[in-house]
Structure 1
Amino acid sequence: MQDIDAALFELVNAGPSAPAWSLQFASFASDILPALLALALAIGALFDRRWRHAFFTAMVGVLAAWLIVQAIRWAFPMPRPAYYGLGIQWVPQGIRPGFPSLHAAGAFTAAFSLWCLPWRSPMLAALAVAATVAWSRLYLGLHFPSDVVAAAMLGALVSILAERGIRLMSRSRTSPASARAPGGRLRSRTRRA
């Protein structure tokens, strides 16, 4: 598996003859696109309650993804390609662990959080943005393909669990409250004559 990962990395990583504009675009995709995706979600949340739900799901999911990535990196510190002397690392990252990609995990978590919307086009557009972020991390020499694939799977799982958890919490807040009397006692359902 490591040989395939390294070979795929070498195919995508920008070589010494890469045009400057492609490196600038990859840096933009890596650093700015995730913020623009969050901004688009926030703008949608201003105008529609379904977007507010998606935005809140994305924020909870991204926080959870960040915590999970940090835990994985602490428990299983897998090096980045530069550690093995592979490719060119266009943006310095040092020797920090790289599995899974935090940038890709956040972008895919935000993108998959849009699955709860009644329209598919926002999620598909956001997934294209997340895929571009993931590509940029490989192109800039910062991650192996397995790092971004694991991040995409983590993002999908975390966003679904975050959305389900938020939905369950909102249901539990609204349903049983009407059946309780002041003081926390259940109201009697029988009528007194």
Structure 2
Amino acid sequence: MIFKDLNISLFNSINSFAKEHTLLDKAAIFLAEDLNTVLISFLVFLLVVQWKTYHLLFAKTLVIVLFSLLLSDIIEFFYHHPRPFQIDLGHKLIGHGSTSSFPSQHTITVVIIGFSYWMAGFKKIGLMGLLCAVIVGLSRIFVGVHFPFDVIGSFVIGFMLVVSVNYALKELAIRIRRIKPVQLID
């Protein structure tokens, strides 16, 4: 119960500013719904401009994001956590369905982007992605569709997915290098 109470308390402390200032609400709505689109558009622009540099990393990141969608569905199947507005908490500034609130898919997508680029050596893009993830996560709480632990869980899951895929690809590359070619024709 202590985690539930802490989660609700943190939610209330962030969401309590909603509906106090119209400009702040509009900014939070943009950040909650569209900042990830802006970041992805920037990455697509980089991909087009410098294909050779970014194409493999972009593809790997896209696969991890798609895998995170599947994982989110699996989590929801086994564990449905209500959204704040479903239990009459806080102010809801955007429309949202009654799907499970854990994890925040908006946040996990940007977390995966940030960690993928950062771990691939593109530190500035990665840090920009992680900063965007923090902003998206906080804004999703502010607009009333996620709890703080949904966002924290998204960071943990996103990090674990990126590390796991990087490890699996590294192991796969090592095993492929060990394979000796077989001569089929004499």
Q: 1:82 to 1:107 in 2, by over 3 A?
A: same
TM-score normalised by structure 2 residue count? 0.86
TM-score normalised by structure 1 residue count? 0.84
Residue 31 of structure 1: which of 30, 33, 49 is its match? 33
1:81 alignment counterpart: 84
CA contact (8 A) 2:19 2:91 kept: no
The worse-fitting range, judged by mean Cα deviation, of 118-127 and 49-58 is 49-58
What amino acid sits opposite 1:56 in the alignment? A
- Confirm or deny that 1:70 pairs with 2:91: no
SS at match of 1:32: helix
The worse-fitting range, judged by mean Cα deviation, of 35-44 and 118-127 is 35-44
The worse-fitting range, judged by mean Cα deviation, of 147-156 and 35-44 is 35-44
Cα distance in structure 1, aligned partners of 2:134 and 2:169: 26
Aligned length: 183
CA contact (8 A) 2:18 2:142 kept: no
What amino acid sits opposite 1:102 in the alignment? Q
The gaps in structure 1 that reach 5 residues or longer are: 188-193
The gaps in structure 2 that reach 5 residues or longer are: none
Q: Tell which structure's C-alpha radius of gyration is larger.
A: 1
Residue 159 of structure 2: which of 143, 156, 163 is its match? 156
2:104 alignment counterpart: 101
CA contact (8 A) 1:50 1:117 kept: no
Task: Report matched runs for 1:3-152 at 5 Å.
Answer: 3-15=5-17, 17-46=19-48, 47=50, 49-152=52-155
Which structure has the highest helix share of the two? Answer: 2
The worse-fitting range, judged by mean Cα deviation, of 82-91 and 140-149 is 82-91
The worse-fitting range, judged by mean Cα deviation, of 28-37 and 137-146 is 28-37
Cα distance in structure 1, aligned partners of 2:94 and 2:182: 58
What amino acid sits opposite 1:99 in the alignment? F
CA contact (8 A) 2:64 2:162 kept: yes
Over the residues paired in the alignment, what is the CA RMSD in angstroms?
Answer: 2.3
